[in-house]
């Protein structure tokens, strides 16, 4: 990978937090960075102009969903994903491995890839590692991902070992099939919650000279302590001179914690999904704007917030929109949550640059009320199961 692609700019002596610049086809971004999820070439409820005004620098789209609908051919004819969705900044596309392998009753793993049935119409499809890369190359994303096997974190050891073996074999095939077109192909480390399998996967995947590496298969209902133990073990085995991407993790407290553990890139549909359900982020934790207590509050969601929603509307108004089920509620709530996430990561980057990240982390976590652990796990498991059944767009 050329030296200019990922350039470390600052680290902190007593923390693994780091500041870097990632250079891609559609521009440079500063890391650490959080990517909103736009699975179907749109961040739900928002326009590209909304994202620009929030100052979002990069988003994630999903090749599984785009392959099924509208089809990669249509997007290619439109001039690629950026032109199709009118977004001129960097895009990362997931290979769809997580979505495909979550359809346990609709797919079959073979040495040549995976055969699966569409959650939309039941039609049968086959995607090989080479085809997964080919499709993402046609989409034209800046960062593309290998096809991997992502089993449940509770899978038996023999199932997890098989997943690691397939992931390694397919990663090599993806790497060999990827053309020299400027797109960055990232490898994915699997292994669930089994330390020796994570170590094996990390060793095998990092032996392939990918320009970046991701940690997959976490945030699937396991405890936070289990997740962070695996992240710590895995980060120790990842190169320091290449970006580290923790897939599917994106609550505010996890962003702060993950950056302190050496993670550079995060993505999650959580901020936008909870926004559509009325859960809004503040520096003291999440509030449910649909609760009656907010019905007469003629103040912003958060006084210190500079987002479009807080500059123009009150808690009472947003509460009213949700109670009436007006579509504007989802847009205003989503704008606020993404502004919160983007501002949080921007402040973290500033704290790393100033050598003050540990103090920032301590102050943030001291005031931010985290969702109860047991309740969070229960909600996560229920959410994952529901999305499996209906092939949710954010899944």
Distances from the Cα of 298 to the Cαs of 64, 145, 255, 315, in angstroms?
Answer: 43, 46, 31, 6
Using CB atoms within 10 Å of the CB of residue 320, give its burial: 0 to 12 exposed, 13 to 18 middle, 19+ buried: middle
Catalytic residue among 142, 257, 264, 267: 267
Span between the terminal Cα atoms of the chain, in Å: 31
Catalytic residue among 94, 148, 257, 264: 94
96 phi-psi bin (left φ>0, alpha ψ -120 to 50, beta other): left
Sequence-ordered strand ranges (E) for the chain: 6-12, 15-24, 27-31, 33-36, 59-62, 91-94, 107-110, 113-117, 124-127, 143-145, 184-189, 212-215, 244-246, 265-268, 279-282, 285-288
Closest CA to 55 of 392, 342, 393: 342
Does 257 participate in catalysis according to the annotation? no
Joined together, the tokens standing for residue 56 give: 């979002």
Does 267 participate in catalysis according to the annotation? yes
Closest CA to 101 of 167, 40, 169, 195: 167
Q: How many residues does the chain have?
A: 395
User: Residues with catalytic annotation?
Assistant: 94, 267
């Amino acid at each position: 990978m050329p030296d200019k692609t990922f350039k470390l700019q600052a680290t902190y002596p007593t923390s693994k937090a780091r500041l870097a610049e990632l250079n891609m086809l559609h521009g440079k971004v500063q890391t650490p960075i959080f990517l909103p999820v736009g699975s179907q070439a749109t961040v739900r409820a928002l326009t590209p102009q909304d994202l620009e005004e929030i100052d979002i620098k990069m988003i994630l789209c999903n090749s599984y969903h785009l392959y099924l609908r509208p089809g990669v051919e249509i997007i290619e004819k439109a001039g690629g994903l950026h032109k199709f969705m009118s977004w001129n900044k960097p895009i990362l596309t997931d290979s769809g491995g997580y979505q495909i392998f979550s359809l346990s009753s609709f797919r079959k793993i073979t040495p040549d890839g995976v055969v699966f049935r569409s959650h939309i119409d039941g039609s049968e499809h086959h995607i090989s590692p080479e085809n997964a890369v080919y499709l993402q190359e046609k989409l034209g994303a800046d960062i593309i991902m290998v096809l991997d096997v992502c089993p449940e974190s509770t899978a038996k050891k023999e199932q997890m070992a098989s997943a690691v073996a397939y992931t390694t074999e397919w990663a090599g095939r993806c790497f060999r099939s990827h053309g020299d077109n400027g797109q960055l192909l990232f490898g994915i480390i699997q292994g669930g919650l089994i330390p020796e399998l994570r170590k094996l996967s990390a060793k095998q995947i990092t032996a392939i000279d990918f320009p970046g590496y991701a940690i997959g298969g976490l945030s699937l209902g396991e405890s936070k302590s289990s997740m962070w133990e695996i992240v710590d073990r895995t980060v120790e085995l990842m190169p320091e001179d290449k970006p580290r991407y923790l897939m599917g993790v994106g609550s505010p407290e996890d962003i702060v914690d993950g950056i302190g553990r050496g993670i550079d890139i995060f993505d999650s549909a959580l901020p936008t999904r909870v926004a559509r359900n009325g859960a809004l982020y503040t520096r003291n934790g999440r509030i449910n704007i649909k609760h009656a207590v907010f019905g007469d509050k003629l103040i912003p969601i958060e006084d210190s917030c500079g987002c479009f929603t807080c500059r123009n509307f009150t808690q009472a108004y947003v509460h009213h929109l949700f109670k009436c089920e007006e579509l504007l509620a989802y847009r205003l709530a989503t704008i606020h949550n993404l502004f919160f996430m983007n501002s949080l990561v921007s402040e973290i980057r500033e704290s790393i640059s100033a050598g003050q990240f540990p103090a920032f982390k301590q102050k943030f976590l001291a005031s931010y009320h985290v969702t109860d652990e047991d309740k969070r796990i229960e909600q996560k498991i229920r959410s994952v199961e529901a999305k499996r059944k209906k092939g949710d767009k954010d899944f």
